[in-house]
Structure 1
Amino acid sequence: MLNRIILSAACCVLVLTGCGDKKSSTSAAENSGRMLEFKYAKQFTAEYLENDCIKVNIGDDSYIIVPENAEPPQDNDNCTVIKQPLENVYNAASSAMDLIDGVGALSQVTMTSTKYDDWCLQSIRSSMDSGDITYIGKYSAPDYEAMLEEDCGLAIESTMIYHSPEVKEQIENLGIPVLVERSSYESDPLGRMEWIKLYGLLFNCEDEAQKLFDEKTAQLESILSEEKTGRTAAFFYINSAGGVVVRKPSDYVPEMMRMAGGEYIFTNADLKTDDNALSTMTIQPETFYEKAWDADVLIYNSDILGSVSTVSELLEKYPLLKDFTAVKNGDVWCTEKNMFQQSTGAADMIKELHSIFKGEADDKMEFMYRLEG
């Protein structure tokens, strides 16, 4: 317990010295009512209120971020109040962890709902190795006593928590504010990455968030101005029932392909997509074969069933792929596990896809690697 007290004190120092106080060239009164502008993100909005408080709207939920030593506005009905500085945060939204780390606030997170072996980000594993971050049970069954013992300042949940509303209610009954984030609902990959600005607001690290976002997006300026390559790609895996799981054309992965100068092989008409919130859908092998057999590039999604090393290994699992053009030409790739957890890597992923479409890719990259023959 003493170690935890020392850790909490250290985290307080980091809050004060790592990201620092909010810097504004305008007074709190001038700020009041000012909307913050986001170029790509569509799933949240933010505006300044009195006392430099910030109101954030995410879906149907509203939150008020209250600076240290400030008071929330009187009219805050139906808003979740989040008081700074944030300490001992419980994060049950795995895609948020890299964004929090990106703004330099990982030390303020002490609890997670993702097991050690399910993390591919080394910084998170290192924090769990040192005991700075602890697994306290899956999102639908967290250890409430641990939250109380840690004096949890905020619980960050994904929309999966709506499947277990009683858990959200119980956390709130403990006096812990719950923020449900929706970065995965952004169809624009840069919109997902722009959620780093929300975590900059939450952890009082706006400058750090803006700097990282600007650095990442600047890398894409030349790529986005180039002409399309005309090359097509399929992104898939085949489940245990034999169905082929592909991304919906409106999902951010196909959009990354388009931004990289390629084209996703499927359209909404091909897949007869529905309106649910899922980013993937399962199609019959015949449908996949009919459309994807002549794709220039195949990208195997290793996130669910694990990675493969060679084309032969892939064909053993899925013989229907043997006649595919990309297999014959040796243009078959596999994703690394970090592709879906490293939210700040969207620009880097687009750069890798661009190099694949241009025929200039290294066989081994940060997010993808070419399957050996």
Structure 2
Amino acid sequence: MIKKRYMLTAMVIIIISLLSGCSQDMDKNEKFLGNQLHTEGSMELKYAKNFSVDYYKEGYALISISDGSRYLIVPEGKDIPTNLDKSITILRQPINNIYLVATSAMCLFDALDSLDTISLSGTKAEDWYIENAKAAMKAGDIIYAGKYNIPDYELIMSNNCKLAIESTMINHTPEVKDKLEELGIPVLTDQSSYESHPLGRTEWIKLYGLLTGKESEAKQLFDEQASYIDQLASQEKTDKTVAFFYISSSGNAIARKSGDYVTRMIELAGGNYIFDHLGNSESATSTVTLEMEEFYATAKDADFIIYNSTIDGELSSIEELIGKNSLLKDFKAVQNDNVWCTSKNMFQETTQFGLMISDIHRMLTNDDKDLAKLNFMYKLSATDGEK
């Protein structure tokens, strides 16, 4: 009996120790984020892997980015919590006068009707295909403040900039990031380009919805795009192959690297990218340059061609395409009139990736020979004609 009592006492002590340890860990976590912060939950994310958001009482939110940076959103009128880890950057609401350098994020702000939070752009007005952004710059509501590597610090300071949103290109000029932070301007580097799933890029709208106070609108916009993927999930693959490329001024074919987000869109649409293993999966570069003969050996058998007009402009006909290189006339897709061209706005429309995937699916499965225009692509005719 005494032995059993000792064993029971020992078990109780062990359980109490474990519970105490858990409690201490929780206390450490709370102190790590400030004495007054108590977690209430996390942002629901379906595809995005390069950021997360934890919610705390009284409207505070902690953003964690895959590059290791963290940002605490402090609601308007609230104090900065004490005992906060020094590595956490403070962003006080309202967050406005933003210097937006990450071009992929502009359409997200536009979709949220939050262009009024942006005062400065790293892209000139004539280089935007987002009409509202272009109009805002022409009206002087958004001012060009220099590229990522040569920002106009004086202009940025004079506009009381509250946040600089950079693309990963800033990693090539870390001294610029250091200078902005030295001037008291927080820098957030958009990591959406590292998302492996196309809708992971779109889901960054939830982060910008948090920054602009429009989380519910962001969720609704994302869910609309995710619904396109959900609708295609039950569809069988077509086994149709697709070549996605453009011809450079030197006559080389510039094709997308296998496994990047564009080729993933083709796969999600039910097709197969014509190149199985093109490019280095470890490289950050999204394209591969191929001499035309090398490109011809594989791509000539593709069922469909999607010509990427982003770099050298939109094409008006198959004849114009063949004019770039005569070898293209032997391509299966050319001979079968299955050649499509992207609209220039395709890569500035991160908010519409679900719809783009739906476009590709329609291209692959629609037997209507009169189908000539989709939301982000148009079909090339044999000779010059209206797109």
- The answer on 1:112 being equivalent to 2:121 is yes
* Aligned mates of 1:61, 1:33 — CA distance in 2: 21
Structure-2 change in CA distance of 1:345 and 1:305 (3 Å): same
Superposition deviation, residue 223 in structure 1: 2.0
- Matching residue within 198, 209, 212 for 1:189: 198
Which residue of the partner structure matches residue 149 of structure 2?
140
Structure-2 change in CA distance of 1:360 and 1:62 (3 Å): farther
Cα deviation digits, residues 134-180 of structure 1 (max 9, x gap): 11221211111111111111110001011111111111111111100
Return the letter of the residue paired with 1:93. Answer: A
Structure 1, 359-368 or 188-197: larger mean CA deviation: 359-368
Structure 1 segments unaligned to the other structure (5+ residues) = 1-28
TM-score of the two chains, using structure 1 as the length reference: 0.88
Structure-2 change in CA distance of 1:148 and 1:30 (3 Å): closer
Which residue of the partner structure matches residue 291 of structure 2?
284
Structure 1, 46-55 or 82-91: larger mean CA deviation: 46-55
Superposition deviation, residue 290 in structure 1: 1.3
Which residue of the partner structure matches residue 21 of structure 2?
none
Superposition deviation, residue 115 in structure 1: 0.9
Which residue of the partner structure matches residue 53 of structure 2?
46
Q: SS state of the match for residue 233, structure 2? A: helix
Any conservation in 2 of the 1:224–1:260 contact (CA below 8 Å)?
A: no
- If asked which structure has higher relative contact order (CA below 8 Å, sep 6+), I would say 1
Structure-2 change in CA distance of 1:265 and 1:31 (3 Å): farther
Superposition deviation, residue 272 in structure 1: 4.9
Cα deviation digits, residues 27-73 of structure 1 (max 9, x gap): xx896162322110011111124543222121222222221122333
- The residue correspondences of 1:139-178 to structure 2 (distance < 5 A) are 139-178=148-187
Superposition deviation, residue 240 in structure 1: 2.6
Structure-2 change in CA distance of 1:360 and 1:151 (3 Å): farther
* Aligned mates of 1:298, 1:57 — CA distance in 2: 39
Any conservation in 1 of the 2:37–2:57 contact (CA below 8 Å)?
A: no
Q: SS state of the match for residue 34, structure 1? A: strand
Any conservation in 1 of the 2:274–2:299 contact (CA below 8 Å)?
A: yes
- The residue correspondences of 1:1-373 to structure 2 (distance < 5 A) are 32=39, 34-49=41-56, 51-58=58-65, 59-73=67-81, 74-268=83-277, 271-360=278-367, 362-373=371-382
Superposition deviation, residue 181 in structure 1: 0.6
* Aligned mates of 1:360, 1:70 — CA distance in 2: 59
Any conservation in 2 of the 1:189–1:253 contact (CA below 8 Å)?
A: yes
* Aligned mates of 1:217, 1:99 — CA distance in 2: 15
Return the letter of the residue paired with 1:123. Answer: N
TM-score of the two chains, using structure 2 as the length reference: 0.85
* Aligned mates of 2:303, 2:320 — CA distance in 1: 20
Any conservation in 2 of the 1:51–1:72 contact (CA below 8 Å)?
A: no
Superposition deviation, residue 242 in structure 1: 3.0
* Aligned mates of 1:63, 1:320 — CA distance in 2: 53
* Aligned mates of 2:374, 2:142 — CA distance in 1: 29
Identity of aligned residues (%): 47
How many corresponding residue pairs? 344
Any conservation in 2 of the 1:92–1:114 contact (CA below 8 Å)?
A: yes
Return the letter of the residue paired with 1:206. Answer: E
Superposition deviation, residue 235 in structure 1: 0.3
- Structure label with greater radius of gyration: 2
Return the letter of the residue paired with 1:34. Answer: G
Q: SS state of the match for residue 41, structure 2? A: coil
Superposition deviation, residue 258 in structure 1: 1.0
Any conservation in 2 of the 1:294–1:326 contact (CA below 8 Å)?
A: yes
Cα deviation digits, residues 77-104 of structure 1 (max 9, x gap): 2122111101111100000011112222
Cα deviation digits, residues 204-251 of structure 1 (max 9, x gap): 111110111112222333222111112110100122333321112211
Superposition deviation, residue 123 in structure 1: 1.1
* Aligned mates of 1:98, 1:31 — CA distance in 2: 34
Structure 1, 355-364 or 312-321: larger mean CA deviation: 355-364
Question: Structure 1 runs of 4+ off > 6 angstroms?
Answer: none
Cα deviation digits, residues 270-313 of structure 1 (max 9, x gap): x2524111222222323311111110100111111112111111
* Aligned mates of 1:274, 1:207 — CA distance in 2: 36
Structure 2 segments unaligned to the other structure (5+ residues) = 1-35, 383-387
Structure-2 change in CA distance of 1:60 and 1:242 (3 Å): farther
* Aligned mates of 1:32, 1:237 — CA distance in 2: 49
Any conservation in 2 of the 1:53–1:72 contact (CA below 8 Å)?
A: no
Superposition deviation, residue 111 in structure 1: 0.8
